[in-house]
Each structure stands twice: as structure tokens, then as C-alpha cells.
């Protein structure tokens, strides 16, 4: 989704902003732009297309000289991805420039009012409305901070703004409301950005910026104000993310690097929460509360939703709590029945997915407690939840999630085990066995990653297929869902996931010679069933690729054209191993097909609009 950068300091702003915008490219975008103040005047450059084109247009900064600036990558929502619609947007008089993420819900009403007051607009965007609203208020009060506060009062929706005003040639103004924005402090310079990754190469010292706040930033002073313009006192925090983790580290794609980082992401997520042979969660969940939970809703979007599907199966199996996995985009429209005995678990890498935020707010409004599983520290979902269990995956750059997905699964195992223990539904022997297997998980993921040459060969073999089906039962069905999504998302091969038993109710009609059916057969208890389902497709000409475990392999191999075998583990944890060949398969199929792996077409890393 859109990215914001702002810089004020002693050096040239444009090269710093171009570098930062490159780091934000992973969010997905289709136009880019930047503005600086030089000699008391705002100068602007914008282009449809990539940051590289913007860089070319401004000749590496030579044509956009200035020591203060704002930059933006835009992912079109309102209006086409053209030069004109790219940010920054100027006020009609050209004295105010802004970059903006989010949506101003009441922009049409504000626009009409401004037009009636004589304002002329060049685009249909809500951003241009914000620029003109601020300019109009500034013309009346003569103080930029006050004008921004008044505009914030009038604008509804979720937004983050970076603002330049010609009368303040050394001051950057920022405003945040429910859209991410963070402020970085360097040596004689400062930054604003929608994601800390943008300036992590320059500084790790940040100020967290809360909803409704306004920041007035010069190269050596940052002042924060409440919506009523009361000055606030804040302390900087240090971000401990590894810079190299946000860079490709010599690999061709972020996705590949992030797949290889999975053992570490899972280890970092699990190990601080296992202590003295017990699960030690870093949140206070009183046992009497856990015993009184009547239902758990697991809520998320895309891959995060598929983590929820695994969690639902496991929670019911181990802790015997009735559980549902619900798509966040459907949750609040499904009249969920919630009260204080309902726990809603929101799963999100970014913590800014609009549908998940909406589900969270609805859950809280209806009186449920919300526990979130989030990767980005301090994100909206983390801030608004009753409890947060962070995944420790580090920054995930590729649009296709891999290491965050694995870290999310790991947190769901801990939570399930903890709740089962509190409710007395697990024996001591089983508890110890599961903990042992949890601790062994990172090494077993490593072993699965070693299958990559075999997976590559198979992906090359099947990469020309038009349609690929994924089938499985129970947790293997949950894995089929993730496998099909990964494949569609980055290789653009049409893929469908089915619960094995469902094929005969319609979809079997699509099976013909050469259809590839990737059969998930890791769950021993249902291996016989899925073999029958796969055999039915084979009888109709399908090729079968089986993903199975060492102990199940002998009972399923006879029906497959090819088999990939992963290590054994506790049945609840199988998804963490089974997902690895699925991710690798999607990756290598996309590679052969020469797809844009890290930034698939039409997709963005974080979906901040519903
Ligand atoms: O940031 P989130 O975890 O909330 O994102 C949810 C989905 O948009 C995300 O998992 C998406 O499906 C991935 N691109 C899949 O690889």
C-alpha cells in the first residue's frame, strides 16, 4: 500500500527520499513523487510507475535540490495511477504540499464546501482536498500547526499526512490518525515514514506517534501536540530490527531470503516463551478467565486466515474449546454472537489490515476480549487489542508471506497449549511431548528447506499446468488452502484447494488428463481417506504429487507420481513443516514463469482499505 517519507536535515533531501522510497517499494505501488522546499518555494516531481523513474526524472536529486522534503509511493484507490494523481498534492495556491496515506471519508462534502468558497481542484482525490483544507485554514489563522489541528478536526477517516508549507522552509509537519506513521531522529536530521524500514539504514531512534497527534519537526527539534495543541512529552525508543533483515542480503528475491529465515523466525518467536518446561506467555491471561471461555473466533485475511483455520482445528482438538476461523472481511457482517466469555484472536503480519481492524473493533464493541498475533510492533491492531502476542519474524518485505505465516502458526501452538493446560484437557505426558516437539520445530523446518532442489525439479516439471488442485483433510486441508493461495499469488497459475471429501460433490468434473493434484497427506489419522480421494482423481487422468511425512509415506506412495517427504512431528505441528514445500513449489514455479515474485501484479503487502 502507499508509502510516506519525509526528511529535514543538513543534507540534500531528494537522494535520502529516493532511497527510503525504494525501501518502501515492497508495500506495492503504481506511482511515486516527491516535493522539496528550495529558496522559499515548493518544487515538485511526480511520475506514474516506479521509484527508478522518479529518480531518473529528478536526475538523482540534481533537479530537485532542497534540504527538506516529502515523498510518496501511491497505490491507486481513488483515481488512476497517473502523474497527476501521484502524491505530493499541492493546494490551489501552491504554498502547501502534502503526502497522504489512508482515506478521508468525508472528502466529498469538504470538497463541495471548498469549491463553493472558490477553490479549484485538479484531481478527484481526497488528498488534494486535505491540501486545500489546510491551506484555507492556514490563510485564516496564519499558523500551520493550528491549521493542521483544525483540519484534523474536520476530516473523518483514517489518515497519515506529511506536510510542507512555503512559509516554514525548515519545518516538516505530520499528522496521524489510525494510519501508520513513525518519526526517526538522526544526527542533525529527522524523518517521518509510514514504515520504519524506510529509514532504518539511517537511524534506529524513533518516536512513536499516536493517533490524533501532530508533530512539528525541524532538523534539531521535534515537538508533539495533542489534537487540542497541548504540547506532549515523549521519549525516543530504539528499534532493534536488523538492517540487513530488511535488505536482500545477496539473494535474488526477498521471498527466498525470508523462506530461509523461517527457522530463526520460529525460534525467536518460541524460545523466549518456553521456560522451565512450561509455556510462559508474555501476557497475563488468568487461568479462571481461560477456563470460562465459551468460544474462540480466529480472525484474519488471506494467509493469516489460513493460520486461523489451523488454529481452529488444533484448539478444538487439544483444548476442546468451540472455535471458528472467520474471514475478517466477513466477520462483522455475520452478526457474530459475542460476549465477555468470547475470545477473538486477530492474526495479522502488518497489524494494519483494514478488514482485520474492523473485525477487532466490532468484537470489542460487542464485549469480547481481543488477543492479537501481530508482527509489526505498535501497529494499529496491536495498540487496540486487550492482549498482544508478537511474532518475532522481523520485517517481512515480499508481498507473499512466509516467515510471518510460520511465526504466526508458532504463536497459535503456544496459545493452544496454554489454554489446554489451564482447562485441564491435556495430560502432563502429552504436554511435555508437545513442548519437546515445539522446541525441535526450527531444526525440522531447516530439514524441510533442504528439500528445495527436489521441489525445484517438480515445480519446473509442472509449471506449465493451467490448473492445479490442492487437496487434504483436516489440518492438511488448511495447508491446501495456503498452498493454493501461495501458488496463485506469485506464479499466476490457477489453483484451487479442496477438502478431499468435497471433490465428488462437483469439482471432480474438472479433473482430466494432466490435471495436477497436489495431495497433502501428512495427517496420519486421515491418510487412508485422502489416498482414496486422490485415487479417484488419478482414475480420471490426474497426476499426483504427494506431500507426506516419513511415517505416513509408505501408505500413500503407491498412488503418487512424485512424493515429497517431510520429517515427523506432533500432529498439531505438522502445518509448520508441510507449508515449506508448498512455499518452495510456488516460488520455483513463479521463477520458471518469470513472474514478479516479490511484488506480484495487483497486490500490495498491506491492505489498508476494505
Ligand atoms: O498483514 P496481514 O497479515 O493482515 O495480511 C493478511 C493478508 O493480506 C496476507 O496474508 C496475504 O494473503 C499474503 N499476501 C499472502 O501471502
pLDDT at 79 over 60: no
Domain ranges of the chain: 3-247, 255-448, 450-592
pLDDT at 508 over 60: yes
Q: Tell me which of 389, 401, 484, 587 to substitute to probe ligand 1's pocket, judged by most ligand atoms within 8 Å of the beta carbon.
A: 401
Burial degree of 14 (CB within 10 A; 0-12, 13-18, 19+): buried
Q: Which 3 state secondary structure label does DSSP give 125?
A: coil
Give the pLDDT band (50/70/90) at residue 244. Answer: low
* Distance from the alpha carbon of residue 171 to the mean position of ligand 1, in angstroms: 36
Output 604 or 177, whichever has higher pLDDT.
Answer: 177
- Residue 6: name the closest of 179, 255, 172, 212 by CA: 172
Mean pLDDT, residues 475-493 taken together: 97
pLDDT at 103 over 90: no
Name the grid cell of 230.
497541548
| pLDDT confidence of residue 77 | 56
Query: Over the stretch 128-162, which tens digit does the pLDDT of each residue have?
Result: 999 999 999 999 999 999 999 999 999 998 799 99
Q: Please, what is the Cα angle at 59 between 201 and 216, to 5 degrees?
A: 50
* Distance from the alpha carbon of residue 307 to the mean position of ligand 1, in angstroms: 11
Mean pLDDT, residues 353-361 taken together: 95
Count of C-beta atoms within a 10 Å radius of residue 422: 18
* Distance from the alpha carbon of residue 304 to the mean position of ligand 1, in angstroms: 6
pLDDT at 26 over 70: no
On the question of a common fold for 255-448 and 450-592, the answer reads yes
CA gap 200, 251 in Å, rounded: 20
Q: Tell me which of 349, 583, 610 to substitute to probe ligand 1's pocket, judged by most ligand atoms within 8 Å of the beta carbon.
A: 349
Lowest-confidence segment of 184-188, 333-337, 515-519 by average pLDDT? 333-337
Global pTM reads 0.72
Q: Which residues are catalytic?
A: 2, 605
**CATH, domain 450-592, list 3.90.1150.10, 3.40.50.10490, 3.40.50.1820, 3.30.420.40:** 3.40.50.10490
Burial degree of 509 (CB within 10 A; 0-12, 13-18, 19+): exposed
Mean pLDDT of all residues belonging to the chain: 93
Lowest-confidence segment of 75-84, 209-218, 463-472, 588-597 by average pLDDT? 75-84
Query: Over the stretch 383-423, which tens digit does the pLDDT of each residue have?
Result: 899 999 999 888 888 999 999 999 999 999 999 999 999 99
| pLDDT confidence of residue 245 | 61
Mean pLDDT, residues 174-201 taken together: 92
pLDDT at 241 over 80: no
**Shortest-distance atom of ligand 1 to CA 350:** 1
Name the grid cell of 378.
505498535
CA gap 169, 367 in Å, rounded: 48
Q: Tell me which of 302, 375, 598 to substitute to probe ligand 1's pocket, judged by most ligand atoms within 8 Å of the beta carbon.
A: 302
According to CATH, the topology of domain 255-448 is Rossmann fold (3.40.50)
**Shortest-distance atom of ligand 1 to CA 606:** 1
| pLDDT confidence of residue 25 | 80
Please, which residues have CB within 8 angstroms of residue 381's CB and are 6 or more apart in sequence?
Answer: 346, 348, 351, 352, 353, 356, 357, 360, 372, 374
CA gap 476, 521 in Å, rounded: 7
Mean pLDDT, residues 449-474 taken together: 96
Closest residue by Cα to atom 14, ligand 1, is: 400
Mean pLDDT, residues 419-429 taken together: 97
Closest residue by Cα to atom 16, ligand 1, is: 400
**Shortest-distance atom of ligand 1 to CA 302:** 12
Mean pLDDT, residues 423-447 taken together: 96
| DSSP states along 412-432 | HHHHHHHHHHHHT-S-HHHHH
* Distance from the alpha carbon of residue 402 to the mean position of ligand 1, in angstroms: 10
* Distance from the alpha carbon of residue 54 to the mean position of ligand 1, in angstroms: 28
Q: Which 3 state secondary structure label does DSSP give 455?
A: helix
**CATH, domain 3-247, list 2.130.10.10, 3.40.50.2300, 3.60.20.10, 1.10.3720.10:** 3.60.20.10
What is the CB < 6 Å shell around ligand 1?
301-304, 348-350, 353, 356, 399-401, 485, 489, 606-607
pLDDT at 80 over 70: no
Closest residue by Cα to atom 10, ligand 1, is: 303
Amino acid at each position: 500500500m502507499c508509502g510516506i517519507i519525509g526528511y529535514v536535515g543538513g543534507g540534500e533531501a531528494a537522494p535520502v527520499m529516493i532511497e527510503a522510497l525504494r525501501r518502501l517499494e515492497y508495500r506495492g505501488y503504481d506511482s511515486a513523487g516527491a516535493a522539496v522546499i528550495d529558496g522559499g518555494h515548493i518544487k515538485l516531481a511526480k511520475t506514474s510507475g516506479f521509484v527508478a523513474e522518479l529518480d531518473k526524472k529528478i536526475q538523482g536529486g540534481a533537479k530537485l535540490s532542497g534540504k527538506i522534503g516529502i515523498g510518496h509511493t501511491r497505490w491507486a484507490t481513488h483515481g488512476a495511477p497517473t502523474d497527476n494523481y501521484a502524491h505530493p498534492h499541492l493546494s490551489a495556491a501552491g504554498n502547501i504540499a502534502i503526502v497522504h496515506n489512508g482515506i478521508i471519508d468525508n472528502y466529498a462534502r469538504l470538497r463541495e464546501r471548498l469549491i463553493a468558497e472558490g477553490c479549484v481542484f485538479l484531481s478527484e482525490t481526497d488528498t488534494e482536498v486535505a491540501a486545500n483544507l489546510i491551506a484555507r485554514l492556514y490563510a485564516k489563522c496564519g499558523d500551520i500547526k493550528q491549521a493542521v489541528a483544525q483540519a484534523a478536526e474536520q476530516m473523518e477517516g483514517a489518515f497519515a499526512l506529511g506536510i510542507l508549507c512555503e512559509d516554514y522552509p525548515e519545518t516538516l509537519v505530520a499528522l496521524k490518525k489510525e494510519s501508520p506513521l513513525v518519526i526517526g531522529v538522526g544526527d542533525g536530521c529527522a524523518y517521518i515514514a509510514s514504515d520504519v524500514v524506510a529509514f532504518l539504514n539511517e537511524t534506529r531512534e524513533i518516536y512513536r506517534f499516536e493517533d490524533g497527534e501532530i508533530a512539528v519537526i525541524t532538523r534539531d527539534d521535534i515537538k508533539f501536540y495533542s489534537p487540542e495543541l497541548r504540547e506532549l512529552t515523549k521519549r525516543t525508543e530504539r528499534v532493534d530490527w536488523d538492517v540487513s533483515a530488511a535488505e536482500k542480503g545477496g539473494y535474488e528475491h526477498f521471498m527466498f531470503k525470508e523462506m530461509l529465515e523461517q527457522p530463526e523466525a520460529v525460534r525467536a518467536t518460541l524460545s523466549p516463551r518456553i521456560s522451565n518446561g512450561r509455556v510462559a506467555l508474555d501476557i497475563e491471561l488468568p487461568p479462571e478467565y481461560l477456563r470460562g471461555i465459551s468460544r474462540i473466533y480466529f480472525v484474519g485475511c488471506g494467509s493469516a486466515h489460513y493460520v486461523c483455520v489451523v488454529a481452529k482445528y488444533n484448539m478444538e482438538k487439544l483444548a476442546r474449546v468451540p472455535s471458528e476461523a472467520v474471514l475478517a472481511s466477513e466477520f462483522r457482517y455475520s452478526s457474530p454472537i459475542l460476549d465477555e466469555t468470547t475470545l477473538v484472536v486477530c492474526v495479522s503480519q502488518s497489524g494494519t489490515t483494514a478488514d482485520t481492524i474492523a473485525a477487532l473493533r466490532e468484537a470489542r464493541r460487542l464485549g469480547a476480549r481481543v488477543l492479537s498475533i501481530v508482527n509489526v510492533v505498535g501497529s494499529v491492531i496491536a495498540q487496540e487489542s486487550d492482549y498482544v502476542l508478537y511474532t518475532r519474524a522481523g520485517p517481512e518485505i515480499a508481498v507473499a508471506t512466509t516467515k510471518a505465516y510460520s511465526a504466526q502458526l508458532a504463536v497459535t501452538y503456544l496459545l493452544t497449549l496454554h489454554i489446554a493446560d489451564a482447562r485441564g484437557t491435556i495430560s502432563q505426558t502429552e504436554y511435555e511431548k508437545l513442548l519437546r516437539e515445539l522446541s525441535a520445530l526450527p531444526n525440522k523446518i531447516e530439514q524441510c528447506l533442504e528439500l528445495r532442489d527436489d521441489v525445484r525439479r517438480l515445480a519446473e516439471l509442472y509449471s506449465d499446468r493451467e490448473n492445479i488442485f490442492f487437496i487434504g483433510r483436516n489440518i492438511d486441508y488448511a495447508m491446501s488452502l495456503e498452498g493454493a493461495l501461495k501458488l496463485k499469488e506469485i506464479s499466476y497459475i490457477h489453483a484451487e484447494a479442496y477438502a478431499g471429501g468435497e471433490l465428488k460433490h462437483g469439482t471432480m468434473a474438472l479433473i482430466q488428463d494432466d490435471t495436477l493434484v497436489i495431495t497433502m497427506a501428512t495427517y496420519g489419522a486421515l491418510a487412508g481417506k485422502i489416498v482414496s480421494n486422490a485415487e479417484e482423481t488419478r482414475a480420471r487422468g490426474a497426476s499426483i504429487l504427494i506431500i507426506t511425512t516419513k511415517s505416513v509415506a509408505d501408505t500413500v506412495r503407491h498412488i503418487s507420481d512424485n512424493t515429497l517427504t517431510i520429517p515427523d512431528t506432533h500432529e498439531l505441528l505438522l502445518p509448520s513443516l508441510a507449508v515449506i514445500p508448498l512455499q518452495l513449489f510456488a516460488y520455483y514455479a513463479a521463477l520458471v514463469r518469470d513472474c514478479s515474485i516479490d511484488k506480484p501484479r495487483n497486490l500490495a503487502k498491506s491492505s489498508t482499505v476494505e
